[in-house]
Amino acid sequence: MHTAANILVAVVALLHLYFLVMEMFLWTKPAGRRAFGLTPEFAQASRALAANQGLYNGFLAAGLIWSLLTEPHMGFHLKLFFLTCVIVAGIYGAVTVNRKIFWIQALPALLALVLIHFPH
């Protein structure tokens, strides 16, 4: 289960790196507007907010990557913290923006959180 948990933690980290790229660099581009269902005007007006949000997603990814690279005891606690942060952010986004956020962001983190509790 340890390997499966780490793979899922890595997937969650990669998702957040993807969110970083979409929000910081592609928000006003056709791919970013299509992914988030934005008009060109709204994308331009909200560009700075999206970049800020992307930066936070990068911090979540960095923490999850750190949790995979550090010694097991500390790694477990880092995974616990950063996965919980992702779950809270995903639930908040699902409630305030779009329910789809739960399935894309919170559910993978929730599954990873469950898996890290299984014995090695």
pLDDT tens string 84-109 = 999 999 999 999 999 999 999 999 99
pLDDT score for 120: 64
8-state DSSP, 39? -
- pLDDT tens-digit series, residues 42-84: 999 999 999 999 999 999 999 999 999 999 999 999 999 999 9
Q: What is the pTM of this model?
A: 0.93
Per-domain boundaries in the chain: 2-115
Q: What would the pLDDT profile of 33-52 be if each residue is shown by its tens digit? A: 999 999 999 999 999 999 99
Q: What HEC string does 90-117 produce?
A: HHHHHHHCCCHHHHHHHHHHHHHHHHCC
